[in-house]
C-alpha cells in the first residue's frame, strides 16, 4: 500500500465501554453529551448520535474501562482484504457471526492493536434513516463519512502501534508534535483531520484511552454542555479551547467511569490526497484547554458551582 491509497476504513463507527455505575453514566450521556438512549438489553445502555441504531454502548461490569472500538469498512471486499492484511501482519483475527448480530452489523471480525485495544472491523451497520435522531439536549453531531469522532490513546509500545494504524490499516499522518520527551501522532482515514491520536514516550508506560471526541454541528451545543457540566453535572478537566491542528473548539469533561470526553465543534476537514504532514511546536492548543482542578483553577470553578447553586 502506498501513501496515495485510501485506507479501507471509513471511520470510527462505535465505542463500547465497561462501566460500574450504569445509571450515573446514562445521566451523563444524556444530560451532558446529549446522546439519545436507544433500545437496550438488560445491563447494557445503547446511545444514538445519528441515524445509526447505536454509536456508544455501555456494559455493566465489575471494572471500568474501554471494551472495544468499532471501525466501519466500506465494502465486504475491503473487509476481508483488511482481515488478510492484519493476519499477514501477524495479528490474530476472528470472525463472529453471533457478535455481528449483537452489534447489529452485517459482517464483523475482531483483532487487537499492538497496544492491546480490542478492535472490531465491520460492514453494514443497521440504520434508521430517515428516522430522525432526537437529542435530549437538542445537539446534533458531525458523523457520516467522517465517522462518529476520534480517539486518543496513550500507548505502549508506541512505534509498533503507530506502524499498525499507518502501515497495516492504511491511515495517513496528519501531523506530529513533540511534547517534552513524548510524541503524539495524529492519523486519519477520511476527511476528519484525525480519527486517532497516539501519544507515546517515557511518561506513558501503559496503554490508556486518553479521550473520545464527538463533534457537534453548532458552537452553542458545546457552550450549553459546558454550562451543564459547570452547573455540577460533570467535572470539566480542560477548559474551553481551540486545537492548533484540527481547529476543534472544545472542552474536556470526565465521564462517571473516569474516561474523558472531548466535546467539540468546528473541526476542519482535509483532503488526505493533497495533505502534506505538518509538525507542531509542542503546544496543542491556540488558546484555552487549561487543565482544571490540578492547577488551582478547580477552586474557582468549584466556587462558581457553589455560587450557581
Ligand atoms: Fe481530541
CA of 296 to the centre of ligand 1 (A): 23
> Angle CA(163)–CA(143)–CA(166) in degrees, nearest 5?
10
Report the distance separating Cα 248 and Cα 103, nearest Å. Answer: 30
Residues 260-287 have pLDDT tens digits of 999 999 999 999 999 999 998 888 899 9
CA of 151 to the centre of ligand 1 (A): 7
Report the distance separating Cα 277 and Cα 247, nearest Å. Answer: 16
Report the distance separating Cα 86 and Cα 111, nearest Å. Answer: 8
Confidence of residue 73 (pLDDT cuts 50, 70, 90): very high
CA of 41 to the centre of ligand 1 (A): 31
CA of 60 to the centre of ligand 1 (A): 26
pLDDT in the model for residue 4: 44
CA of 309 to the centre of ligand 1 (A): 31
Average model confidence (pLDDT) for the chain? 92
Alpha helical stretches, state H, the chain: 22-31, 76-88, 97-103, 158-163, 219-228, 297-308
Radius of gyration of the chain (CA): 19
Per the DSSP assignment, residues forming a β-bridge with 5 are none
Name 134's Cβ contacts closer than 8 Å, sequence gap at least 6: 36
CA of 214 to the centre of ligand 1 (A): 9
Check: CB of residue 231 under 8 Å from CB of residue 225: no
CA of 211 to the centre of ligand 1 (A): 7
CA of 250 to the centre of ligand 1 (A): 9
Residues 32-44 have pLDDT tens digits of 999 999 999 999 9
Check: CB of residue 119 under 8 Å from CB of residue 111: yes
CA of 15 to the centre of ligand 1 (A): 15
Name 299's Cβ contacts closer than 8 Å, sequence gap at least 6: none
- The grid cell for 173 is 499522518
CA of 44 to the centre of ligand 1 (A): 26
CA of 213 to the centre of ligand 1 (A): 5
Percentage above 90 pLDDT, the chain = 86
CA of 121 to the centre of ligand 1 (A): 22
Give me the mean pLDDT over the 111-133 stretch: 93
Name residue, grid cell 446514562.
26
User: Rounded to 5, what percent of the chain is helix, strand, coil?
Assistant: 25, 35, 40
Confidence of residue 5 (pLDDT cuts 50, 70, 90): low
Q: Give the three-class secondary structure for 173.
A: strand
Residues 220-263 have pLDDT tens digits of 999 999 999 999 999 999 999 999 999 999 999 999 999 999 99
Amino acid at each position: 500500500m502506498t501513501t496515495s491509497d485510501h485506507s479501507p476504513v471509513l471511520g470510527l463507527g462505535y465505542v463500547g465501554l465497561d462501566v460500574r455505575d450504569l445509571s450515573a453514566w446514562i445521566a451523563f450521556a444524556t444530560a451532558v453529551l446529549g446522546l439519545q438512549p436507544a433500545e437496550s438489553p438488560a445491563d447494557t445502555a445503547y446511545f444514538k448520535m445519528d441515524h445509526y441504531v447505536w454509536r456508544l454502548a455501555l456494559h455493566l461490569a465489575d471494572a471500568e474501562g474501554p471494551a472495544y472500538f468499532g471501525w466501519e469498512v466500506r465494502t465486504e471486499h475491503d473487509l476481508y482484504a483488511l482481515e488478510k492484511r492484519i493476519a499477514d501482519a501477524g495479528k490474530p483475527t476472528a470472525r463472529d457471526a453471533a457478535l455481528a448480530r449483537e452489534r447489529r452489523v452485517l459482517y464483523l471480525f475482531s483483532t487487537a492493536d499492538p497496544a492491546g485495544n480490542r478492535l472490531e472491523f465491520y460492514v453494514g451497520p443497521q440504520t434508521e434513516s430517515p428516522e430522525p435522531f432526537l437529542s435530549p439536549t437538542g445537539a446534533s453531531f458531525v458523523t457520516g463519512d467522517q465517522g462518529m469522532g476520534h480517539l486518543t490513546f496513550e500507548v505502549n509500545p508506541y512505534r509498533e502501534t503507530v506502524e499498525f494504524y499507518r502501515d497495516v490499516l492504511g491511515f495517513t499522518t496528519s501531523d506530529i508534535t513533540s511534547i517534552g520527551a513524548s510524541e503524539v501522532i495524529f492519523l486519519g482515514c477520511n476527511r476528519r483531520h484525525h480519527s486517532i491520536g497516539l501519544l507515546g514516550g517515557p511518561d506513558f508506560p501503559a496503554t490508556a484511552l486518553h479521550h473520545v471526541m464527538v463533534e457537534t454541528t453548532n458552537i452553542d451545543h458545546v457552550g450549553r454542555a459546558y454550562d451543564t457540566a459547570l452547573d455540577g453535572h460533570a467535572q470539566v478537566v480542560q477548559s474551553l479551547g481551540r486545537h492548533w491542528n484540527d481547529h476543534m473548539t472544545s472542552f474536556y469533561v470526565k465521564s462517571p467511569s473516569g474516561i474523558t470526553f472531548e466535546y467539540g465543534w468546528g473541526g476542519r476537514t482535509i483532503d488526505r490526497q493533497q495533505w502534506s504532514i505538518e509538525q507542531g511546536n509542542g503546544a496543542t492548543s491556540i488558546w484555552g484547554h487549561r487543565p482544571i482542578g490540578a492547577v488551582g483553577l478547580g477552586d474557582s470553578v468549584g466556587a462558581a458551582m457553589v455560587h450557581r447553586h
